[in-house]
Amino acid sequence: MEVHFTPDVQAKLDQMARDTGRPSDELLEDAVAGLFDELAYTREMLDRRYDDLESGRVQPIDGEEA
């Protein structure tokens, strides 16, 4: 896979690689994996919240009241 970045993002990636002594492809792989983990966690939380609302275990709060 090939990914292209703006010059600003590329400069930040290059600097991070120099600062950490890690290859840029390794930094990117870790960043993407972390993003996917965070998205999966958020999706699971939203699914649980939706299930709680649908089952009646949690009552919604009116937007005006909040």
pLDDT tens digit sequence for 4-56: 999 999 999 999 999 999 999 999 999 999 999 999 999 999 999 999 999 99
In whole angstroms, give the CA distance from residue 48 to residue 32. 24
Domain count, the chain: 1
**Does a structural domain hold residue 1?**
no
**Does a structural domain hold residue 27?**
yes
User: Global pTM?
Assistant: 0.72
N-term to C-term CA, the chain: 46
**Does a structural domain hold residue 48?**
yes
Answer for the pair 50, 39: CB distance below 8 angstroms, yes or no: no
Radius of gyration of the chain (CA): 20
In whole angstroms, give the CA distance from residue 64 to residue 66. 5
Domain, as residue range, for 34: 21-54
Residue 37 main-chain phi, psi, to 5 deg:
-60, -45
**Does a structural domain hold residue 34?**
yes
